[in-house]
Structure formats: structure tokens, C-alpha cells
Amino acid sequence: MRTQHKTTFASSFEEDCYNGLTSYPKYLLSKYIYDQKGDKLFQDIMDLPEYYLTNCEYDILQRHTSGIAAHLAGPNGFDLIELGAGDGKKTKVLLRHLAEKNVNFNYLPVDISENVLKELENSLKTELPEVSVNIQQGTYFQTLEKLANYSSRKKVIMMLGSNIGNLLHKDAINFLKNISAAMSEEDMLFMGFDQKKDPQIILDAYNDPTGVTAAFNKNHLVRINRELGGNFDTDSFMHWETYDPESGTARSFLVSMIEQTVNIDALGLEVHFDKWETIHTEISQKYDDQTVNWLAKEANLKPVEFFTDERSYYKNYIFMKI
């Protein structure tokens, strides 16, 4: 429930939390899970045996390094702009190959987390000092506004980890349209899409028995407590995952196991939860070729090549403008 109609906020975090927790049904935006603790928890998730996505894409980059590099390279070199760079573990496979082949390129990793970017920059200075790195902290959309005029040579916009899967289809189309608008005819988009597969494999990837994924989703509540003066009892919420094989949508929820009221001082907000009421925290969309082709066409893009892992769980597509 609302205790006041708040119209001014100190940050987008405040505003988005207020809007989400005063909506019905309630929701929180997944991007705010990624503070320093959230970054570490997500790195732990990527190491889980159930979380197949990381290993699949790592397999693709290792198996098809030369083929991928051959598509990306340009006669005057290129700028590799990675959206949602994270810790760069998978990207380093490609960076190392490009450096060994003396390819002329600059690497611009983009992430909302400054902490992750600094760690990536420092690790590259040690592991691949020959790679030119220029970190870009901010949201994808803030960075995309700069892309069109970044340089006169070829741009390769890269998005690993199926981050596109965090968007509903209509939002994914708008996102791809923004990328397309920032691309010239010679530019490329290299993007990962997790494929539809056995539904149990997908459910297990987001509901590990060790509870790391649950802790990751609850980190949003922890952050509200720390930064906004909330008093969420995280133990009174359970993590719940669903997957619809028809639409290919996996959804993550936090479910209140008791009737309770939470106060958030910075928002002047009192939030009531009925027993078993939910907070929607994240979606993870799964795809097939038909869906990817449709999304691309709607965004004035066309797939020109794809690479897949040994089990065909995952695909990385290369797109160009139509």
C-alpha cells in the first residue's frame, strides 16, 4: 500500500523500487541486483553445474574462435563494443585470439557495474596488456546513444550471456532497433541467444539446490535494506522459478511466505504483503531460429551466420543491417 504519493526521487533506484513495489502485481527490476555483492553471486551462479549457459557459450568461443574472428575483422581494424561485459571470462578467449593474430582493434566493455568494469580492466592489464581497453560505465541505452558517432571505422557490437533474454519480445525489438540505428552498413552485431530445450534443464539452471540463485534474487531486498532504509526479512521470502515451454519464458519470483508489512524509510513507503504474494524479479527468455529471425527483421537486422555449442543448447548469431 502507499503511504504517500511520492513524486520526487533521489535516484532512479529509488523511483524504480517505488514504482515496482506500489504496482499490482509487484515487481523489481533485475538490473539493480548487480551491486558488488550481486556481481559476486552471479559469478558464483556461472560456476554452478546446473547453469549451462556459461559453459555453452565458452564452448562456442573456443570451438569457433577463428571463424568468429574472421567475420568480425575489417580492413581498417574495428572497435569491439561489448554490452554487459561482466567479468569478461568468455570474452578473453576471443580477445586473446585477436591479440595473438595482431588484429587491429579496440575493446570497449560496457556494464552498469563500475566495480565489475574495474576488475575486468585490471585483469586485462595483467593477462592481455597488449589489448587496448576503454571501459564504459552505464546502461546499454546510455551507451547506445554514443555509438553512432563513436568512430568512422567498423564497429562490432557484442552481447554475450543471452542478456537479450532479460527483455520481453516487444522490449527486445526496441532494444535491437536502438542497436540497429547506431550501426552503419559495415557494422556487425554479435549476440547470444539461449535456445529452447528440455524444460527441466532450464528450470534447474535457475533453481540450484545450493541456494545461490535464491540469494542472488534476494540481493535486491538486501540492497533496498542497505541503501533505502528498508526492513525486509529475506528469510520470509522464498525464491520460485517457472518456465513456459510454449512462449520460452522463464520467470523468477520472490514469494512472501507470511503476511507482513515492510517499511522503506527513504521512500516513505509502507508495503503490505499477503501470504504467498509475489514480487516478480527477472525473466530469462529462450529462443528458436524462427523467433530470432522475426526479432531481427522487426529491428531492420538480418542474421548472416550463427555458431552453436556441441549440444546445440545455445547459439551466437552475427547480424548486419538490412
Do 191 and 92 fall within a single domain?
Answer: yes
Number of structural domains the chain divides into: 2
Do 96 and 147 fall within a single domain?
Answer: yes
Average pLDDT for the chain: 93
Residue 105 lies in a domain: yes
Residue 128 lies in a domain: yes
Do 145 and 256 fall within a single domain?
Answer: no
Q: Residue 97: exposed, middle, or buried by beta-carbon count in 10 A (0-12, 13-18, 19+)?
A: middle
Residue 164 lies in a domain: yes
Do 171 and 260 fall within a single domain?
Answer: no
Do 161 and 71 fall within a single domain?
Answer: yes
Spatial separation of the C-alpha atoms in residues 194 and 164, rounded to whole Å: 9
CATH, residue 188:
3.40.50.150
How do residues 23-40 score in pLDDT, each as one tens digit? 999 999 999 998 889 989
Do 150 and 298 fall within a single domain?
Answer: yes
With a cut of 50, say whether residue 2 has pLDDT above it: no
Do 280 and 291 fall within a single domain?
Answer: no
With a cut of 90, say whether residue 114 has pLDDT above it: no
Give the domain range for residue 126: 64-195+287-321
Do 138 and 214 fall within a single domain?
Answer: no
What's the rounded mean pLDDT across residues 43-63? 94
Look up cell 501470504; give the residue.
Answer: 275
Do 146 and 79 fall within a single domain?
Answer: yes
Which amino acid would we find at residue 116? V
Spatial separation of the C-alpha atoms in residues 3 and 6, rounded to whole Å: 9
What's the rounded mean pLDDT across residues 122-132? 96
Say what the pLDDT of residue 5 is: 64
Do 76 and 182 fall within a single domain?
Answer: yes
How do residues 258-276 score in pLDDT, each as one tens digit? 999 999 999 999 999 999 9
Do 82 and 183 fall within a single domain?
Answer: yes
With a cut of 70, say whether residue 279 has pLDDT above it: yes
Backbone angles phi, psi at 263, to 5 degrees: -105, 140
Say what the pLDDT of residue 148 is: 66
What's the rounded mean pLDDT across residues 197-206? 97
Q: Which residues on neighbouring strands pair with residue 119, listed in sequence order?
A: none
Residue 210 lies in a domain: yes
Closest Cα partner for 169 from 314, 306, 286, 320? 286
Say what the pLDDT of residue 137 is: 87
Do 45 and 100 fall within a single domain?
Answer: no
Q: Residue 124: exposed, middle, or buried by beta-carbon count in 10 A (0-12, 13-18, 19+)?
A: buried
What's the rounded mean pLDDT across residues 255-260? 98
pLDDT band at 230 (very low <50, low <70, confident <90, very high): very high
Residue 280 lies in a domain: yes
How do residues 60-92 score in pLDDT, each as one tens digit? 999 999 999 999 998 899 999 999 888 888 999
Say what the pLDDT of residue 6 is: 67
Residue 7 lies in a domain: no
